[in-house]
Amino acid sequence: MLKKISQLLLLVLISIPFYGSAQNNIVGLYVEIENDNGIVPEYNMWLSTINTGTGDISQISNQGFGNLISNKTSTVDPIQNIFYYTNGLGEIVAIDEQSGAFLYNTPMQLLPNYYFQQFVYNELDQNIYGLERTPLDGGKFYLSTINPQTGVITRISDNSIAEGVCNLDMALDVVNEVYYFSNCSDLIGVDINTGSVVSQVPLNIPNADYFSHFKFNLSDQMIYGVARTVNPNGIYLAKLNPQTGVVTNISQQSVANSVNIGDEAIDPLNEIFYIKSGNNDFLSIDMQTGGLLNSPNINLGEEGLGFKLIYYRGSKILLDTENFSAETKVDIYPQPASQHIYIESNQELVRYEIYDIKGELIQKNSLSNLIHVEPIPSGMYFIKFYDRNGNISNKKILIN
């Protein structure tokens, strides 16, 4: 279900270098032994990038953040460029994603033995959504939000939405406003406005034993992840239809024997799925064919222990108006659209171009006050308006 998202304008950065021309768009926490005293080694970690072609790591941070990570979850606010994760002290930690500088660590306002996990930043409403978990003995789960500056947890769900979760996986569909997670047997979808379960479909995995390590792909509104076989051990890129629960293998053959929890990312523009293997290889997998593009061993150096909590930084969708000038106003409605959209502007616009999230041109024409969009499949698109001088204004459109 597409819900109206009023007065939010999105601009996709479609000028991302293609695979092979840039290899440092993956960011995560590099963990290293700082002091091996022979008894209990002291660790530290820094925000860093990795070259996906060579496996070499480059530190962004000049300051370490300690060695504690909780629940193997992180997220990024691409508007303010902040990397968030939780540590073992019950705090949410904020790091400047550009400079690697430490910003703050805030105690989360939780009851004893409660947790906030599987959280993700929503660029449309600028909230962080996650699962609030009560103690493991008789535990319950609620969809909640957190204010990272105050640590206040606000529960959205009136009732528990699950009795358990699987592999700390989650996926956020920002268009349909649904938060997905798994209890191992079912894919559960929760409305982020009401906290109510809106779907619960059994996972149908015909060619594997498990489906995990998943992320939502805004480009085709499918969930991509790992299909795992047990005998023999095998790892296959697969996609899950969130409406039916059917998992379809994309990889024709196994790409690894095992993978690490919490270390996966998607580049939706170049259609690459990234994940770390249990052998410390960094896998780049083609999302169309399921084949390996690269799989270098991560170069941790003599003291390095790991590279964790990865994300892809290049395909951010930013809230932005991107108008010609402060005097230029462009409005489009309805949102979402099904047959046509109307254009209103205080300046004369002469033509338009519609692009999908991967930057491919879908439609273009001279401009009147109405654009027909019936032939365009449902999804999120970006429309460029041109004035007579060639100036450009960018807008987001949703098509249902």
User: Range with the lowest mean pLDDT among 103-117, 186-200, 255-269?
Assistant: 255-269
Contact 357, 382 (CB under 8 A): yes
pTM: 0.79
User: Range with the lowest mean pLDDT among 118-132, 289-303, 371-385?
Assistant: 371-385
Q: What share of the chain is helix, strand, coil (3-state, %, to 5)?
A: 0, 50, 50
Percent of the chain at pLDDT exceeding 90: 55
| The pLDDT value given to residue 314 | 62
pLDDT of 211 above 60 = yes
Q: How confident is the model at residue 137 (pLDDT cuts 50, 70, 90)?
A: low
User: Range with the lowest mean pLDDT among 38-42, 164-168, 303-307, 331-335?
Assistant: 38-42
Domains of the chain, residue spans? 10-194+260-317, 330-399
Q: Count Cα atoms within 13 angstroms, Cβ side, for 8.
A: 19
Average pLDDT over the chain reads 85
Q: How confident is the model at residue 176 (pLDDT cuts 50, 70, 90)?
A: confident
Determine whether domain 10-194+260-317 maps to CATH 1.10.1060: no
Q: How confident is the model at residue 385 (pLDDT cuts 50, 70, 90)?
A: confident
Contact 300, 62 (CB under 8 A): no
Beta bridge partners of 215: 224
| The pLDDT value given to residue 16 | 34
User: Range with the lowest mean pLDDT among 63-67, 141-145, 226-230?
Assistant: 63-67
pLDDT of 391 above 70 = yes
Q: How confident is the model at residue 3 (pLDDT cuts 50, 70, 90)?
A: very low
DSSP for 68-120?
A: ---TT-EEEETTTTEEEEE-TTSEEEEEETTT--EEEEEE-B--TT-EEEEEE
Q: How confident is the model at residue 318 (pLDDT cuts 50, 70, 90)?
A: very low
pLDDT of 393 above 80 = no
Percent of the chain at pLDDT exceeding 70: 88
Highest mean pLDDT range out of 18-27, 109-118, 186-195, 364-373? 186-195
The C-alpha atoms of residue 320 and residue 395 are separated, in whole angstroms, by 9
Q: How confident is the model at residue 212 (pLDDT cuts 50, 70, 90)?
A: very high
Provide CB contacts within 8 A for 357, sequence distance 6+: 12, 218, 219, 268, 269, 379, 380, 381, 382
pLDDT of 19 above 50 = no
| The pLDDT value given to residue 146 | 97
The C-alpha atoms of residue 138 and residue 173 are separated, in whole angstroms, by 29
Q: Could you tell me whether strands 102-107 and 91-96 are parallel, antiparallel, or unpaired per DSSP bridges?
A: antiparallel
Q: Could you tell me whether strands 57-59 and 304-312 are parallel, antiparallel, or unpaired per DSSP bridges?
A: unpaired
Q: How confident is the model at residue 304 (pLDDT cuts 50, 70, 90)?
A: confident
User: Range with the lowest mean pLDDT among 183-187, 302-306, 357-361?
Assistant: 357-361
Q: How confident is the model at residue 180 (pLDDT cuts 50, 70, 90)?
A: very high
The single-letter code of the amino acid at 135 is P
Based on the number of CB atoms within 10 Å of its own CB, is 118 exposed (0-12), middle (13-18) or buried (19 or more)?
buried
Across 316-328, average pLDDT: 45
| The pLDDT value given to residue 41 | 67
Provide CB contacts within 8 A for 176, sequence distance 6+: 1, 2, 3, 221
**Helix, strand or coil, per DSSP, at residue 327:** coil
End-to-end CA, the chain: 9
pLDDT tens profile 31-52? 988 776 666 667 899 999 999 9
Nearest residue to 239 via CA among 271, 280, 279 = 271
pLDDT tens profile 350-380? 999 998 766 678 899 998 888 999 989 887 7
Q: Which two tokens stand for residue 108?
A: 């989360």
Going through 134-249 in order, the beta strands assigned E by DSSP cover 141-146, 153-155, 171-173, 178-182, 186-191, 197-202, 210-217, 222-229, 234-240, 247-249
| The pLDDT value given to residue 242 | 95
pLDDT of 136 above 90 = no
Across 187-209, average pLDDT: 97
pLDDT of 175 above 80 = no
CATH of 330-399, one of 3.40.50.920, 3.40.50.970, 3.30.70.2470, 2.60.40.1220: 2.60.40.1220
pLDDT of 11 above 80 = no
| The pLDDT value given to residue 321 | 37
